[in-house]
Amino acid sequence: MEVIPAIDIRNGACVQLVGGDITKEKVHIDDPVAQARRFIDMGAKWIHIVDLDRALGTGNNMQVIRRIMEVPGARYQVGGGIRFTEDIDDLLAANAARVVVGTRAVTDEKWFAHVCERYGGRVFAAVDARGDEILIKGWTESSGKKLLPWAKEADKLGVGGLLYTDVALEGRMSGVNATAVEALAKSVDVPVVASGGVSSMEDLQELWEAHAWGVVVGMAAYTGKLDVAHAIRHFARKGGR
């Protein structure tokens, strides 16, 4: 199982928010590129980048993201406000290994089917949920779609994988929703990457047992609650489920 550190970018800085709330910024690091290097030095093989400004429609951090992805030693998955085919093209050309599409994947099936066919496994879908309800537009609106039925349809369309976030847990380090991850992983044939609430090795173990292909770690990695280097080594040895 891959342990994947997160770099969330707002106004050019690396931040961590509680529950995705921009008024609740708990971590602020001015140099995201240096932070990427630190994670790679810890053994990270994947890094998850989120453009919070683009997700919220307040701008974008493409210049910073390009600089991060120039750092060798890891593969990068990038998401946050990706709503146009040109955005995907730009990120893949800039060295993204895969691009995570959220809102438009849920709201525009024709476009989503097109990008799944065009890019294959290099496009993941972000499934941001509260309970079984999928949220969109930076978690500010309900999509009206339910988690498992939509995930099965995405699988049929040829999506490369799913990034599942329990938004009620995100940034709170209060434990994970392994039950939901397992139900999702068993309902699709593509990899499921889990996010939200990780605070310990025990949480990671639960997600490994729930058949997660990978886990994004954010707040716990920045606050010292989780030894990222140890976690990466440990779960690399355990392999997948």
Is residue 41 classed exposed, middle or buried when 0-12, 13-18 and 19+ CB atoms within 10 A define those classes?
Answer: exposed
Structure token digits, residue 146: 């339910």
Between the alpha carbon of residue 115 and those of residues 44, 85, 109, the distances in Å are 28, 7, 10
Task: Answer for the pair 173, 137: CB distance below 8 angstroms, yes or no.
Answer: no
Q: Report d(CA 189, CA 178) in Å as an integer.
A: 18
Q: Is 128 a catalytic residue?
A: yes
**Marked catalytic residue, from 51, 87, 128, 166:** 128
Question: Nearest 5°: CA angle at 55, between 213 and 174?
Answer: 50
61 close to 53: Cβ distance less than 8 angstroms: yes
Give the integer Cα–Cα distance in Å for 229 and 69. 20
Question: Considering only CA atoms, which of 125, 77, 75 is closest in space to residue 105?
Answer: 125
Catalytic residue from among 8, 53, 87, 203: 8
Catalytic (active-site) positions: 8, 128
